[in-house]
Structure 1
Amino acid sequence: MGNGGSYDDVCVIVPVYNEATTIADVVVSLRARFADVVCVDDGSSDESAAIARAAGATVVRHAINQGQGAALQTGFDHVLRNTDATYVVTFDADGQHVVEDAVRMVDTARAEGVDVVLASRFTGTSTEMPAVRRLVLKAGTGFTRWSAKLEVTDTHNGLRVLNRTALRRIRLTMPRMAYASELLSAIVPNGLSYTEVSTTVNYTEYSRAKGQTNLNAVNILFDLAVRRMRAS
């Protein structure tokens, strides 16, 4: 088992889709601090699931690719049904997040008693972020601040902490990357408290290739606009 220490009540959910290159290192680094790591293999065609399991993760699999939002919801359901975890950390599989940031965010959730802790690369550090990506993400943040009524500085950051109350009240229904804004939009209506913590995102050639394209970012805004119109 990993060195969970005082973090035995934490489960880390890692959505995985064809991440054989990085997933072993990600799981090993997480299990140095968190005993319970669950990888949701979202229909990978490579050996991601076997590699994650060999590295010490519990693996839950989708038969076909359903998107990151669906993978996270499967992870949330797994936690609620099969564990007593008080907190869940969501963590990307491409190696761009820092495990110690996740630790600090759990510590913040405990100390401040909030339901959701969000990460911000814009008040923290982002290495090698493409300029166009920065502009697109800033636009997405502006849209979410307006639509979700949240004072946040980063919206599509895969690192976050949710307590069990948040898991029960939030249900992700948008399987593509738009789930991230959907999650934020559920905070205020569900009476959840939140805070934001400065973190680091390390962009590498691999993570840039795996990350959302600018076209995907436009699709996110379109999906959210359609959803908002239907709800009104």
Structure 2
Amino acid sequence: MSQYDDVWLVIPAYNEGQVIADVVEGARKTFPNIVVVDDGSSDNSAEHIATTGAHLVRHPVNLGQGAALQTGLKYALAQPGARYFATFDADGQHQTPDVEKMVQVLRDDEADVVLGSRFIEQNGQVPWIKRVVLRTAASVSPTARKLKLTDSHNGLRVLSRKAAEQLNITMNGMAHASEIVGFLAGSGLRVTEVPVDILYTEYSRAKGQSLINGVNIIFDITMRERSR
């Protein structure tokens, strides 16, 4: 038995065969319940995931991170005893001690949703281009400002069952992050941020958002807000 038997990590994965087994095996040392959604990978990700003891769900084609998260959350919600749900990246950037800290905030009934922030405590780990894009994304989004978020596009989140049951991600690609913030702003759920440490390895930097994708994120936020 583990003190985290009621926690499920949801990991979307697309062509992460180089690192996914290490990421999952490392996370399972603390969190025994993990579902990895292989989002139509063309590499050997699924084979590596199958060796870890995690639950594996596969999309036959690549649908995008938003769709993979929704699939994973739906799967985790159906598991007996599941109370808390963490979205966790497949590339090794996220750290399990941060998830432990975030889960405790929910256990203490201080929030319904806990979002990880790279900017509450300035540790110098965020590459400067990414820092500019992410801070701009938070500042231009009225919904992020309503929630007083410092980091609106961090993939590390922990949701209570109440919040996870209400969330319905319809934006399949990276725009899902803006959709989640918009949902939270109008949901009435209690939302808070906590500082987290992101590990930017050479691999994760190569897999991360490019500058042009960052511009697209900001454009997406602007268009979504105007359409409300």
Q: Is residue 15 of structure 1 aligned with residue 9 of structure 2?
A: no
Alignment-derived partner of residue 178 in structure 2: 181
In 2, Cα distance between the equivalents of 1:107 and 1:209? 32
Alignment-derived partner of residue 102 in structure 1: 99
In 1, Cα distance between the equivalents of 2:220 and 2:82? 32
The one of 192, 208, 213 aligned to 2:189: 192
- Structure 2 unaligned residues grouped into runs of 5+: none
Alignment-derived partner of residue 69 in structure 2: 72
Letter in 1 for 2:212: L
Mapped contact 2:118–2:126 kept (Cα < 8 A) = no
Report the alpha carbon displacement of residue 175 of structure 1 after superposing the two structures with TM: 1.3
Q: Is residue 6 of structure 1 aligned with residue 3 of structure 2?
A: yes
Report the alpha carbon displacement of residue 225 of structure 1 after superposing the two structures with TM: 2.6
**SS at structure 2 position matched to 1:41:** strand
Alignment-derived partner of residue 200 in structure 2: 203
Alignment-derived partner of residue 116 in structure 1: 113
Q: Is residue 213 of structure 1 aligned with residue 210 of structure 2?
A: yes
TM-score of the pair, normalised by structure 2 = 0.94
Q: Is residue 162 of structure 1 aligned with residue 159 of structure 2?
A: yes
Q: Is residue 141 of structure 1 aligned with residue 131 of structure 2?
A: no
Runs of 4 or more above 3 Å deviation: 124-128
**SS at structure 1 position matched to 2:120:** strand
In 2, Cα distance between the equivalents of 1:45 and 1:36? 25
Paired-residue identity, %: 48
Mapped contact 1:121–1:201 kept (Cα < 8 A) = yes
- Count of residue correspondences: 227
Letter in 2 for 1:156: H
**SS at structure 2 position matched to 1:124:** coil
Mapped contact 1:96–1:201 kept (Cα < 8 A) = yes
Mapped contact 1:115–1:166 kept (Cα < 8 A) = yes
Mapped contact 1:87–1:163 kept (Cα < 8 A) = yes
Offset from partner CA, 1:44-97 (integer Å, 9 cap, x none): 011111211201110111111111111101111112234431000111011011
- Structure 1 unaligned residues grouped into runs of 5+: none
Mapped contact 1:69–1:179 kept (Cα < 8 A) = yes
The one of 28, 36, 39 aligned to 1:39: 36
Letter in 1 for 2:44: E
Q: Is residue 132 of structure 1 aligned with residue 117 of structure 2?
A: no
Cα RMSD, aligned residues only: 1.5
In 2, Cα distance between the equivalents of 1:172 and 1:88? 15
The one of 142, 148, 152 aligned to 1:151: 148
Mapped contact 1:122–1:198 kept (Cα < 8 A) = yes
Report the alpha carbon displacement of residue 220 of structure 1 after superposing the two structures with TM: 1.7
Mapped contact 1:16–1:93 kept (Cα < 8 A) = yes
Letter in 1 for 2:143: S
TM-score of the pair, normalised by structure 1 = 0.92
Alignment-derived partner of residue 229 in structure 1: 226
**SS at structure 2 position matched to 1:112:** coil
Letter in 2 for 1:19: E
